[in-house]
Amino acid sequence: MAAPRAGRQPQNDGYRSLSLSGHVGFDSLPDQLVNKSIKQGFCFNILCIGETGTGKSTLIDSLFNTSFDDPVSTHFQPNVRLRAQTYELQESNVRLKLTVVNTVGFGDQINKEDSYQPIVDYIDAQFEAYLQEELKIKRSLFSYHDTRIHACLYFISPTGHSLKTLDLLTMKSLDSKVNIIPIISKADSISKTELQMFKNKLMSELVSNDVQIYQFPTDDETVSQVNTIMNGHLPFAVVGSTEEVKIGNKMVKARQYPWGIVQVENENHCDFVKLREMLICTNMEDLREQTHARHYELYRRCRLEEMGFRDIGPENKPVSLQEAYEAKRHEFYLELQRKEEEMRQHFVQRVKEKETILKEAEQQIQTKFDHLMLMHQEEKLKLEKKKRALEDDMAMFNKKKANAELLQTQAFVSTPVVSLKRDKDRKNSGFM
């Protein structure tokens, strides 16, 4: 068997690897990428979930070494809402567009059932906005302000007990949508031994309730060691402060108490530095990547499937987007026709029903009319009979009247002859 020629590697997965005999220049690609990214700037979005006054704003101020002037919330919010604020930060020549989203009124309502729904809706709304931009014919993803949440800092109150039901429910409903980093806030209010027990308890509760929290990646060998160690310290117990205290000849962020000083950046006092290192210095890019490749991908897949798009057809054959679109269009067309037919049938049925009702009403009116006509006829006949009787009576009366008049006339005519004769008789008798 002939040995492979110099500069040529054996065939590998359908393509060949070749070696170069001189400098070409594409080894500058990583630098080109870095330069381009620096020019474009970066974007990072943090969601802080925690009860009112758990130290969210103070921690974010401490993490980014600035004051974001986040307004304080009251405990009297009727429901949970989210407040997003975007800031432009710069460190050396790297620009960062940072969005901090805070829950307002979380855990303050008597009925906490719907406390996490506004958070789920907010995260979904950011995914949906990105998906809509992606689906546009004319996309501008390069300049698009990506508001998808990259990291969710979940603030657990330092009770020393166990997780509250609200915490478990909220984390459970979010773990497939966002990278959850649980933290114990105000950790200066819990003792060292209690803290370790509390951490163990929280972790075992998260595991037993199958809540997936973000694990610092261990597949990249440059960070695998530190990330493995840090995974063992979760959840980080942090202290935040915007106050600076002079320790030795240095001003440090700290909280002062009558019995001593808690230094925010002292690893013996709390895990603040660990959190900052892991969140910002080591894994910020991984959090961004996980958001896009895992959480957004899942959202996108579910949404597209909901819209009727599939990669695989009914016979387990791959289906192109075009085919899926045509099939869905046809399905909609058939559905539309079915609905149209249904509506037509419904309309015909309604018309028939109305016709029957009208016919019945007409019939009733006709019967009523016939009845009235009959009554009218009967009444008319009765009246006519009465009229005839009256006419007969009148005729009789007139006849009688005529007879009476005739008799009277005859009587009048015979009266003068009698009186003349009477006068003559009287004269003859000498009465005159």
Rounded distance, CA 221 to CA 102, Å? Answer: 34
Give the range of 31-39, 65-73, 186-194, 198-206 binding Mg ion by CB under 5 A. 65-73
């595991």: which residue's tokens?
207
70 binds Mg ion (CB under 5 A): yes
Count of alpha carbons within 13 angstroms of residue 292, beta-carbon side: 12
Taking each helix axis as running N to C, give the angle between helix 117-135 and helix 297-306, from 0 to 180 degrees, rounded to the nearest 10. Answer: 80
Of positions 43, 45, 46, 54, contacts ligand GTP by CB under 6 A: 54
Q: Cβ of residue 39: shortest distance to ligand GTP, in angstroms?
A: 34
Q: Binding mask 60-79 vs ligand GTP (x if CB under 6 A, - otherwise)?
A: ------------xx------
Rounded distance, CA 24 to CA 343, Å? Answer: 70
Q: Cβ of residue 90: shortest distance to ligand GTP, in angstroms?
A: 24
Q: Which is nearer to ligand GTP, 48 or 230 (CB)?
A: 48
50 binds ligand GTP (CB under 6 A): yes
Give residue 21's Cα distance to chain centre: 61
At residue 92, the 3 state secondary structure works out as coil
Q: Which is nearer to ligand GTP, 52 or 173 (CB)?
A: 52
266 binds ligand GTP (CB under 6 A): no
107 binds ligand GTP (CB under 6 A): no
Residue of 111, 116, 112, 108 whose CA lies nearest to 52: 108
55 binds ligand GTP (CB under 6 A): yes
Residues in the chain: 432
Binding residues for ligand GTP restricted to 212-241, rule: CB under 6 A: 239-240
Rounded distance, CA 213 to CA 387, Å? Answer: 109
Q: Kindly state the DSSP code that residue 290 receives in the 8-state scheme.
A: H
160 binds, among ligand GTP, Mg ion, none (CB under 5 to 8 A by kind): none
Residue type, 222: T
Q: For ligand GTP, how many residues bind (rule: CB under 6 A)?
A: 17
Q: Which is nearer to ligand GTP, 217 or 240 (CB)?
A: 240
Rounded distance, CA 296 to CA 294, Å? Answer: 6
188 binds ligand GTP (CB under 6 A): yes
Give the range of 52-60, 88-96, 111-119, 354-362 binding ligand GTP by CB under 6 A. 52-60
Q: Which is nearer to ligand GTP, 252 or 319 (CB)?
A: 252
Nearest 5°: CA angle at 216, between 211 and 220?
140
Q: Cβ of residue 163: shortest distance to Mg ion, in angstroms?
A: 22
Instruction: Give me the DSSP letters along 120-167.
Output: HHHHHHHHHHHHHHHHSSS--TTT-------EEEEEEP--SS---HHH
Nearest 5°: CA angle at 55, between 49 and 58?
110
**Site of interaction with ligand GTP (CB under 6 A):** 50, 52-58, 72-73, 102, 186, 188-189, 239-240, 255
**Site of interaction with Mg ion (CB under 5 A):** 56-57, 70
